[in-house]
Amino acid sequence: MPESPLLITREAAVLVLTINRPDKLNALDAATLDALDSAFADASADDTVRAIVLTGAGPKAFVAGADIAQMNGLTPVQGRDFSLRGQRMMRRVEQMPKPVIAMVNGFALGGGLELAMCCHLRIAADSAKLGQPEVNLGLIPGFAGTQRLLRLAGRAAAMELCLLGTPIDANRAQSLGIVNRVVPAEHLLAETMKLANQLADAAPLALRGIIDCLNVGGECGIEEGMAYETAQFGLMFATDDMREGTSAFLERRKPVFRGT
């Protein structure tokens, strides 16, 4: 029986998903995309999961790209379907109602950077390399890399990374807004779990509202985005968590949020 392309573990309310193809630098083939899609669907429906960490197995790579060996034999129609498969899975991640952290422990290239960019937060080891090198294969990014890179880093940086295909280091990626934090490689796991546990303790419905507002606002005009934010803000007043949070503040104690 082949080894699973995805390892799934739990640490209290934090779900950890590890892409488990270290011999292939965790390259994304169809089976891995499907396993990720299924795992995120399950996590979305599981009320005991409050935050998710996504990473890659082994010391070298988060995800070094899509599986070139698999792509090499695809027809144009199959190539289009492979692109749609990846885009659907990554859109699911982007629209998750719970925060997803990409723990970038090494190479995040091509589909790997695209996967990291669809997560809500990205924390990278100082040794990580990130880029969109598809042009060197006679390809373009196919999992929405051009679109998310444009939105995260701006037109100039997106043009540079996609046209030149040259990876950048984690510090430059942070300066461009592609990653949120850069930490020494030996501290990456501890710092990521610290962040994940902070999110797991936060108010789940408020986190979901924030994610929704930012996703909607990033794809519409400001007036529409403001109206959506106002509607979400009003909905928070129907939650027990809002009463708990404001009461805890007034009583000078730590709130206990239950997602209701």
Beta strands in the chain (DSSP E): 6-11, 14-19, 51-56, 61-63, 100-104, 107-109, 121-125, 129-131, 168-169, 181-183
Domain 6-200 belongs in CATH node 3.90.226.10: yes
Q: Which residues are catalytic?
A: 114, 134
**CA 8/CA 20 separation, integer angstroms:** 10
Residue type, 251: E
* pTM metric for this prediction: 0.95
Q: Residue 108, SS3? A: strand
The pLDDT of residue 43 is: 98
Residue type, 182: V
Taking every pair of Cα atoms in the chain, the longest distance, rounded to a whole number of angstroms, is 64
Domain residue limits, the chain: 6-200, 203-251
Confidence of residue 8 (pLDDT cuts 50, 70, 90): very high
Confidence tier at 4 by pLDDT (50, 70, 90)? confident
Q: Which CATH architecture has domain 203-251?
A: Orthogonal Bundle (1.10)
pLDDT of residue 2: 62
Indicate the pLDDT class of residue 3, thresholds 50, 70 and 90.
Answer: confident
* pLDDT per residue as tens digits for the range 42-92: 999 999 999 999 999 998 999 999 999 999 999 999 999 999 999 999 999
Examine the pLDDT at 1 and tell me if it is beyond 60.
no
pLDDT bin (cut points 50, 70, 90) of residue 167 is very high
Q: Report yes or no: 130 and 104 within 8 Å, Cβ to Cβ.
A: yes
Q: Name the nearest CA neighbour of 103 among 35, 12, 211, 9.
A: 9
Query: What pLDDT, on a 0 to 100 scale, did the predictor assign at position 7?
Result: 97
pLDDT at site 128 = 98
- pLDDT-above-90 percentage for the chain: 96
Cα 196 from chain centre: 13
Q: Work out the mean pLDDT of the chain and round it to a whole number.
A: 96
Q: What is the pLDDT of residue 64?
A: 95
pLDDT tens per residue across span 39-50: 999 999 999 999
The pLDDT confidence band at residue 241, using thresholds 50, 70 and 90, is: very high
